[in-house]
Amino acid sequence: MNRNIALILKVRINSTSTSLVLRKVLDFVANPSLQRPKALVVFTPNPEFLVAAYHDENFRQILNQADINLPDGWGLILLSRLIGQPIKERIAGADLVQRLLAEGNKRKWTVGISGARKGDLEESTEVIKRLKTKYPGLVIVNLDDTKLEISPPAGGLKLEIVLACQGMEKQEKWIMENKDKINAKVFMGVGGSLDFLTGFSQRAPLWMQAVGLEWLWRALQSPAHWKRIWKAVVVFPWLVVREKILISKH
């Protein structure tokens, strides 16, 4: 197996660094004609993603079609070591999005956003308003606006990057269904990352991020997250350990 790829619960996860991924995306945007594939697809799976993919073969296949699957969760790092395929570092999708938008701001990118604030047009409009204040060099397009013609050949809309915010499974499926319909160079599933950047949600303090306790912060912020946390903190390690035992027996 490629030493830069870890196979965890049959999902390929890239072992790389934030700076290398950032450079790859920037290079792709700058020179798309020299690149393959036509559009770069970036997903940010965490342990909850892999639990869902373990039980849903279609979702697993979608994840494995990504050009880059970033390890967005400390659980992936720890369990990758257990199975002998150590991943270099955790890459938080929220951190990468922030750096990409900062770079895009300098380069005057046109950015498409889909699914922000669960597709509520009023709230997603507010998200975009706040992003424009923070990154005045960006042109930001709300792809949920039904008046917008985004599919070729109707419109001349050209985007450097599309950020899909619908949440796990929905955003990845949306990207795979639309990446050939929208003229964009990069598609990335980002979940609630834009909520952190625009103040709709508060991210865990840096010290909690550093020691892998963001899951606890989310639970304290919203008790509804406990079901998701159970999958990430308990179910995911159990599945990985069970898979390792089964493989070792054969």
pLDDT, tens digit (0-9, with 9 covering 90-100), for 189-218: 999 999 989 988 777 677 777 766 676 666
Residue 154 confidence (pLDDT) above 50: no
User: Residue-wise over 55-81: b if at least 16 C-beta within 10 A, else e?
Assistant: eeeebbebbeebbbbbbbbbbbbbbbe
- pLDDT, position 1: 47
Q: Is the pLDDT of residue 174 over 80?
A: yes
> In sequence order, what are the residues at sequence separation of 6 or more whose Cβ sits closer than 8 angstroms to the Cβ of residue 191?
44, 93, 165, 167, 168, 171
**Tokens standing for 14?**
């890239």
- State both tokens at 228: 């998701």
For residue 12, name the pLDDT band (cuts at 50, 70, 90). very high
Instruction: Give tens-digit pLDDT for 34-57.
Output: 656 689 999 999 999 999 999 999
* pLDDT value for 31: 84
Percent of the chain with pLDDT over 70: 85
CA 94, distance to chain mean position in Å, is 8
Q: What is the mean pLDDT of the segment spanning 160-180? A: 96
6 phi and psi angles, rounded to 5 deg: -110, 135
Over 70: is that where the pLDDT of 240 sits? yes
Task: Confirm whether pTM is higher than 0.75.
Answer: yes
